[in-house]
Amino acid sequence: MAARTPPFAAFEWMIAWRYLRARRAEGGVSVMTWISLVGIALAVFALIATLSVRSGFREEFVSTILGINAHVTVYPAATVSAEGQVVRTTGGYDGLAERIRAVPGVVRAAPVVKGQVLANRGEYNTGVQVYGMRPDDLRGVPGLNATGEAQGDLDRFGEGIVIGAGVARELGVGVGDRIQIISPNGVRTAMGTVPRRNAYEVVYIFSAGRWDADSTRAYLPLEEAQAFFNKEGVVDEIEVMVEDPERIDAYVPAIMAAAGEGLLPWTWRDSAGSYLNALEVEDNVMFVILSILVLIAAMNIVSGLIMLVKNKGRDIGILRTMGLTEGSVLRVFFLCGAFTGIVGTVAGVVLGVAFALNGETIFAALNYLSNGGIWDPSIRGIYRLPTRLEWADVASAVALSLFLSFAVTILPARRAARMNPVEALRYE
């Protein structure tokens, strides 16, 4: 009894390689192989490029949120004063901030006063949200110079006002100019509340990397903001920053235990949760759509193999009469399809990784050539679209491409293996 040949023996690789190198005169199989290879390469490239853009966008979106905003805000629950007014402020804020600052993992706890005002200079006006904060606490905000384009001297914060680059652009001001801020909730008189109007020198212009923050935010010293908004001796909230904001939910119980009763938390995930959920849904949908694109590209392998089986019917018949088993024939044609899938996948990975590593440069060039038409920060909220290479994304793209390439190869390879050698040679 003849010994069984091991699977994927050398002669099976040799036959498969010869079929892949078939000339156009032998049936045009090489052309179909190239079409399949290019299709898979482009599909894998598109999948990796899309996943890298997704990862980069999420990282930039989250980092700009965490750079300028508190990781968790501790604010008082609404109460009703003796005059029947709803009060949302809290006193004793220094002790409260100190207790929160003592919680393990908390790196910053700052009392803050907030208010909406109208900023004015000459004939230019824009709405601004003013944050009242102590100078040392303001220096602890990591995103005040996220883009490296800040102007002025932050050490002069006690002498004037700090505004975002978008506010400065709307008002047409620079460092050293004076602007007015106007609040409708101003001085209380016998005739009612008179809008309060104060003028301040612009001492620092920050660029946080977020369009909404740069275009709507300003900072005043805490005591000045308390006087301006009629909130002497109280603050609106305590801004807290922690070591690992991605684990913010793990910090909240300890922070609230230190804060005491009558206070509520609001984390960065609460404020950005809808955006993050939308990104996650979009990620899943895009992966499914691009997976279909990879499947369509892999189906070209089926077309090529069916043509190959048809053109090589005589060869299959001869090989079977020489003693090749059905398994050997199946493996020969499986290798033909698998080789195309592997080479196409490798080419797609190379293109995708190159794009992910240079995506920001590519987008900047395209945005420049289109005069800024590709990326509008006023709509998307961030100034740039970086790409981030995640090897887990690359691995998922490779696994998907190879699985589909191998799976679609089985059917035509099995058809070749089951071909009757007598029928294959009858008309030869």
Pair of tokens at residue 311: 């053109």
Which residues fall within 8 angstroms of residue 304, CB to CB, at 6 or more apart? 29, 32, 33, 35, 36, 337, 340
Cα gap 42→344, rounded to integer Å: 8
Tokens of 97: 């901030």
DSSP-assigned beta bridge partners for residue 80? 86
pTM above 0.85, yes or no: no
Q: Residue 213: its pLDDT value, please?
A: 83
Report which residue type is found at 25: A
% the chain with pLDDT above 90: 31
Which pLDDT score is estimated for 1?
36
The CA-based diameter of the chain, rounded to the nearest angstrom, is 115
Tell me the domain boundaries of the chain.
10-64+275-426, 78-261
The mean pLDDT of 38-56, rounded to a whole number, is: 88
- Mean pLDDT, to the nearest integer, of 222-248? 91
pLDDT above 70 covers a percentage of the chain that reads: 82
Residue 18: which pLDDT band, with cuts at 50, 70 and 90?
confident
Separation CA 26–CA 30 (nearest Å): 9
| Per-residue confidence (pLDDT) for residue 188, from 0 to 100 | 65
Residues in Cβ contact with 310 at an 8 Å cutoff, skipping those fewer than 6 apart: none
Highest mean pLDDT among 9-23, 25-39, 199-213: 199-213
Structure confidence at residue 382 as a pLDDT band (50, 70, 90)? low
Sequence-separated (6 or more) residues with CB below 8 Å from residue 256: 74, 263, 265
Q: Is the CB of residue 301 less than 8 Å from the CB of residue 342? A: no
Q: Decide: 89 and 76 in contact? Cβ < 8 Å.
A: yes
Taking only the tens place, the pLDDT of each residue in 311-323 is 666 666 777 677 6
Most confident listed range (248-252, 298-302, 329-333, 383-387): 248-252
Give yes or no for a contact between 144 and 154, defined as CB atoms under 8 angstroms apart: yes
More confident residue, 234 or 61: 234
Report CA-CA distances (Å) from 64 to 113, 146, 195, 288: 22, 8, 34, 29
Lowest mean per-residue pLDDT among 223-227, 248-252, 274-278: 274-278
